[in-house]
């Protein structure tokens, strides 16, 4: 089985209208949470990689959402409304401040264990799409094929 790992914000979903950056480049999480209202989530739009996601789900690939977002009912509704299906959604728990790269690797390791496969087996069969350079580096360090969405020709 092949595993496709999709980040959401900046990779599959354009949510820039809800984002504000801090002086050091990190996302202002307080601002993000304040702007994660049902109305503003509904105004998010899809990026070109969403089309590829739909093609791959039609081909029955195992799709994993791996996001640093704290997912809400409105986020799941957005994905469903846009026909983005997945096998599992791995996301941040409320109050968790683990750096994105560490959060995602740990979540994927737990998921591989739940699947009953070794981490090495999972990594050898996984391809990830993410816009965060640190996350891409973390994936590469575990031999997960990783792509920035801007490098993907949709």
| CATH fold group of domain 3-15+46-72+83-151 | Rossmann fold (3.40.50)
Look at residue 32 in the predicted model and tell me its pLDDT: 65
pLDDT at 153 over 60: no
Following DSSP, what letter does each residue of 107-128 receive, concatenated?
HHHHHHHHHT--HHHHHHTEEE
Q: Does residue 49 contact residue 154 with C-beta atoms inside 8 Å?
A: yes
* CA 154/CA 150 separation, integer angstroms: 9
User: From residue 139, how far is each of 15, 19, 49, 68 by CA, in Å?
Assistant: 23, 24, 19, 15
Write the secondary structure of 17-83 as one string of H (helix), E (strand) and C (coil): HHCCECCCCCECHHHHHHCCCHHHHHCCEECCHHHHHHHHHHCCCEEEEECCCCCCHHHHHHHHHCC
pLDDT in tens, 116-144: 999 999 999 999 999 999 999 999 999 99
**For residue 35, what pLDDT band results from cuts at 50, 70 and 90?**
low
Is the distance from CB of 140 to CB of 146 less than 8 angstroms?
Answer: yes
Query: Residue holding tokens 């070109």?
Result: 48
User: Whole-model pTM?
Assistant: 0.91
Say if residue 1's pLDDT is above 80.
Answer: yes
Using pLDDT thresholds of 50, 70 and 90, give the confidence band for residue 41.
confident
Q: Per-residue confidence at 16, pLDDT binned at 50, 70, 90?
A: confident
Instruction: Calculate mean pLDDT across residues 11-29.
Output: 76
Residues in a beta bridge with 26? none
- pLDDT tens across 55-111, in order? 999 999 999 999 998 999 999 999 999 999 999 999 999 989 899 999 999 999 999
Q: Say what the pLDDT of residue 20 is.
A: 64
pLDDT at 148: 94
């Amino acid at each position: 089985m092949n595993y496709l790992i999709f980040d959401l914000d900046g990779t599959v979903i354009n949510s820039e209208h809800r984002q504000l950056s801090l002086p050091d480049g990190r996302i202002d999480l307080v601002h993000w949470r304040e702007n994660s209202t049902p109305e503003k989530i509904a105004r998010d739009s899809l990026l070109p990689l969403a089309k590829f996601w739909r093609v791959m789900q039609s081909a029955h690939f195992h799709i994993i959402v791996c996001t640093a977002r704290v997912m809400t009912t409105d986020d799941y509704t957005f994905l469903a409304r846009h026909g983005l299906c997945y096998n599992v959604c791995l996301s941040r728990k409320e109050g968790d401040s683990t750096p994105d790269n560490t959060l995602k690797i740990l979540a994927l390791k737990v998921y591989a264990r739940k699947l009953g496969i070794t981490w090495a087996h999972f990594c050898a069969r996984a391809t990830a799409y993410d816009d965060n350079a640190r996350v891409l580096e973390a994936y590469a360090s575990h031999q997960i094929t990783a792509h920035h969405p801007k490098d993907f020709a949709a």
